[in-house]
Amino acid sequence: MVAQALVNVFNPYCLFLIWFGTMIGIIFGSIPGLSATMAVVLFLPLTFGMEATNGIALLVGLYMGGISGGLISAILLKIPGTPSSISTVFDGGPMAERGDAGRALGVGILYSFIGSIIGIVALAFISPFLAKVCLLFSAADYFSVAVFSLTIIASLSGKDMLNGLIAGLVGISLKMVGMAPIDAQTRFTFGNYQLLSGFDITVLLIGVFAVTDIILTGFDRKHLSERFQKKGYSLKGYGVSMKEFIEQIPNAVISSIIGIAIGILPGIGGSTAGLLSYTLIRNTSKYPEKFGTGIIDGVIASEAANNAVIGGSLVPLLCMGIPGNTVAAVFLGGLQVHAISPGPLIFDKSGQYVYGIYFALIVSSVFMLIFERLGLPIFVKLLDIPKHILLPIIMVMCCVGGYSAGSRVFDVQCILFFGLLGLLFKKLKVPSTPLIIGFILGSMLEENLRQALQASHGSWMIFLQRPISAAFLIVGLVSVTWTVRKNLQEKKAAAAKGEEVDTSEEEG
C-alpha cells in the first residue's frame, strides 16, 4: 500500500495538482476574508471527476497553503489572513513596522513548514492512540476545555486583567447573537432577520484588526504619506542563524505539540492553538516583556502551532470520521465523494489513500516552503507603497472579504461597526485579543454547557465528577491564580522601587 501510494502521489499530474492547490491556497489564505475553507469548498466540485488520489492531493494542497498563507497579511498589514494567524500579528506586525518584514516572513514560513512536518509525523504514527483518547471526551469535558482556554484572557491581558475580562465577555456576548445552538431560540436580533445567523468570525477579525488600524492611521495625517517600511528588504536564508535555530527548537516542538493536541479536539481550531502556544511560550520565556514588541519567538510559537493543527485535525477525521475543524469537515466530504469512509477500518479498506494523504501533505509542505520563500521579495514590496495609496486598497479588500464571507451587504456594514468598536477599545485602552478569544470559544462554551446540564438533569457537579473536566478546570484556576499573583508581585516590586527613589531624593 505504501509503495502504491508513493507511485500515485509522485506522478507528474498529481504533483502538479499539489503545487496548484498549494499556490491557490496561499493566495486565499493571504487575502483577509478568504480562507482555506473557502478554497477547499470552491475547488471540491473539480475533484469529482478525478481519480481519488489526485482529487485528495488537490484538496491537501489547498488546505496546507490556505493555513500557511495567513501569515503574509498578518505580518505585512497586521491583518490576519485567516483566524489561525491572529497571534502572528502580535510580533510579526511590530517587526514589519520597524523594517524587519523580510525576517518575520522568513521565520514564519520556515516554522510553518516545521510545524506542518511535526503534525504530519504525529498523524502518521500516533493517530490511532490519540483518536481513542478523544472518545473519552464528553460535553462536560469540552466545556471545561473552553473554560481553560478562556484563562488565556487573563494571561494576554497582563496587568490590565479587568479590561481583558470585559473584552472577553463582550466577545462571548457577540457570539450569542442569533439562534441558540440547542433549541434554536432567537436572541439579541431586535427583529432584524439579518442577525439570525449571527456574526461571522471573518467579519469580526477584519473589522477589529484591519478597519480600526486604517482609521487610526488615517487620523495620523503627519505620517500618512510615509511608507510602512523604513529599511530596505534583505534576508539571508530564512532569517535565523544556526544558533537561533537551535535555541528555538524547544519553542517549535512545544508549540507544535500544542497545535497537534488542539487539532485533535473537534471544534477548537488553529486560532486557539496559536493563542495558547503564544501565551505558554511567553509566560515561560526569560524575557516575557519583549513579546508583543516584535521578536521571532512569538512568530514561531504562533506559526508552528497553527500549522501543526493540520495534522492533528486529520487524526479524528481518519480514525473516527470526526472532523477536527471546518476545513477538515469539507475534506471529509471530499473523501466520501470518492467512496472513502473514514473510521477504524480505513487503514484496511483504503490504506493506499491514507498513505497518499501523508505523502501529499509532505509534498505540499515542501512546495509551501519553497514558493513562499521565493515570493518574499514580492510580498515585502507591498510595504514600499505609501500609506495614503495602500490604505484605501486595503479598505476595499476588507469590504470585498467581508462581502465574500456571507455574500451580504450587511456583513460589510458589520465590518464598519466592528471597526468603530475596535477604535473605542483602543481609546479606552481595552485589549482587542480577548474579544476575539471570547467570540471564538463562545459557541463551544454555551453548546457544551447546555448539553452537559441536560445529560446531568441540571446538576453542576458533573463538571467536577468527570476527571478530565475537573483536571482542565483546576489547571485553568491555577493559571488565573498564577497570573494574579504575578501581577501583585510586580505591583509590590514597583511600589518598593518607588519608595526607594523617594528616600534617596530626601537624603540628597
Q: Could you read off the pLDDT tens digit of each residue along the chain, which spans 508 residues?
A: 778 888 888 999 999 999 999 998 888 887 766 677 777 877 877 887 888 889 999 999 998 988 888 888 888 878 777 777 888 888 988 888 888 888 888 899 999 999 999 999 988 887 667 656 656 778 898 888 888 877 766 665 656 777 888 888 898 899 899 888 777 788 888 888 888 888 887 788 778 877 887 888 777 665 555 544 444 455 667 778 888 889 889 999 999 999 888 887 765 666 778 888 888 898 888 888 888 888 999 999 999 998 898 888 887 778 766 666 667 777 777 787 787 877 667 777 777 888 888 899 999 999 999 988 888 777 666 656 676 777 788 788 778 877 876 778 898 999 999 999 999 998 888 888 788 778 877 887 888 899 999 999 889 999 999 998 999 899 888 878 887 887 788 778 777 776 555 555 555 5
**Complete DSSP assignment for 68-110:** HHHHHHHHHTS--SSGGGTTHHHHHHHHHHTT-HHHHHHHHHH
Reduced to 3 states (helix: H, G, I; strand: E, B; else coil), residue 405 is: helix
In a domain, 378, yes or no: yes
Bridging pattern class, strands 178-179 and 186-187: antiparallel
In a domain, 504, yes or no: no
Q: Which residue has the cell 471530499?
A: 334
C-alpha distance from residue 230 to each of 99, 215, 373, 392, 398 (Å): 5, 21, 21, 20, 25
Handedness of CA 383, 389, 394, 397 (dihedral sign): negative
Closest residue by Cα to residue 354 from 325, 309, 314, 324: 314
Q: What share of the chain is helix, strand, coil (3-state, %, to 5)?
A: 75, 0, 20
Give pLDDT, residue 433.
Answer: 73
Output 472-475 pairs: Cβ under 8 A, ≥24 positions apart: 472/141, 472/144, 472/145, 472/147, 472/148, 473/144, 473/147, 473/148, 475/148
In a domain, 160, yes or no: yes
Give pLDDT, residue 324.
Answer: 62
In a domain, 507, yes or no: no
Model confidence pTM above 0.75: no
For residue 34, what are the β-bridge partners?
32
Give pLDDT, residue 453.
Answer: 92
For residue 178, what are the β-bridge partners?
187
Backbone angles phi, psi at 289, to 5 degrees: -70, -20
C-alpha distance from residue 268 to each of 126, 272, 407, 475 (Å): 20, 6, 25, 18
Give pLDDT, residue 229.
Answer: 47
Give pLDDT, residue 292.
Answer: 85
Backbone angles phi, psi at 50, to 5 degrees: -90, 160
Which residues, 6 or more positions from 188, have their beta carbon under 8 angstroms from its beta carbon?
173, 176, 177, 178, 195
Start-to-end C-alpha separation, the chain: 83
Give pLDDT, residue 232.
Answer: 45
Cβ-contact 196, 179 below 8 angstroms: yes
In a domain, 92, yes or no: yes
Q: Which domain holds residue 325?
A: 2-498
Buried (b) or exposed (e) across 197-223, using 16+ Cβ within 10 A?
ebbbbbbbbbbbbbbbbbbebeeeeee
In a domain, 141, yes or no: yes
In a domain, 505, yes or no: no
In a domain, 42, yes or no: yes
Reduced to 3 states (helix: H, G, I; strand: E, B; else coil), residue 483 is: helix
Number of domains in the chain: 1
